Amino acid sequence: MHRLFFLWVLMLTAATARAEPSTILVFGDSISAGYGLTDVAHGWVALLQKKLQQEGYGYQVVNASVSGETTAGGLARLPRALALHHPKVVILELGGNDGLRALPVPAMRANLVSMVQLSRSSGAEVLLLGMRMPPNYGPDYTAQFFTAYTATARDLKVPLVPFLLDGIALTPALMQADDIHPNEQGQPRLLENVWPELKPLLH
C-alpha cells in the first residue's frame, strides 16, 4: 500500500513538472518595459506572449525589463532573475541607455558578454537585441556601439537582431514624441523584428 502511494506521488509530481510551461525571460530597458504606452498589454512583450499562445508554443513570458537600465545595472540584477525564473530562453535587450549616456563601449560590451555567459551557465539560450545610436553621437562612437553587439554575437555565437528599431526609428508615425520609444503602433513591428531570430530557439 505504501509502495503504491509512493508511486502515485511520483507520477503526480512528474505530471505537474510537465505541465509547467517553460519560461522566456525578457531582460531589457524601457523599450521592453513599455515606457510611455497607455497600457503595457499593447507592448511587444505582451504581444509576444499572445503570439506564442496562438501558435501553440508552451512558453510563459516573464518581463524583467526596467526603464533606464544600463548594462551594468542589468548585470547586477541578472543572477537573481535567472535563479528566480529558470528561463529556457533569455532575450537580452540592453545597451541603449549606455549609448544615450555616452558610456564607454568596451565596458558595455564586457557587460553584455558577462550576461550572455551567465544566462548560458544557467541553462538558457540567449537572443541578443541590438541598438544603434543617432549620428549626432559621432561616427566613431556610433560605429563602436553597433560593433559591440555584432562582435558579441559573433564571438559567443548567439543569434542577434542587429537593430531592434529597424523600420521604426525613422518613421515618426511609429515613434513617441521623444523620438526614442516606439508608440503603440510601433509595437507589432518590434515583435516582427524579434520573431524570426527567436523562433529557432523555441522547442
Q: What is the DSSP letter of 175?
A: B
The answer for residues whose C-beta is within 8 angstroms of residue 196's C-beta and 6 or more apart is none
Which residues 6+ apart lie within 8 Å of 174 measured at CB? 168, 182, 183, 185, 186, 189
30, 32, 65, 122: which is the annotated catalytic residue? 30
Which one is catalytic: 2, 39, 140, 178?
Answer: 178
Give the C-alpha distances (Å, rounded to integers) separating 53 from 74, 138, 140, 189.
28, 43, 43, 18
- Single out the catalytic residue among 65, 85, 98, 181: 181
Q: Report the candidate in 36, 65, 68 with the shortest Cα–Cα distance to residue 183.
A: 36
Q: Is 181 a catalytic residue?
A: yes
Torsion-angle region of 119 (φ positive above 0: left; ψ -120 to 50: alpha; else: beta): alpha
Distance (Å, whole) CA 20 – CA 3: 26
Q: In what order do the strands lie in the sheet with 89-93?
A: 59-63, 22-28, 89-93, 125-129, 160-161
Active site residues: 30, 178, 181
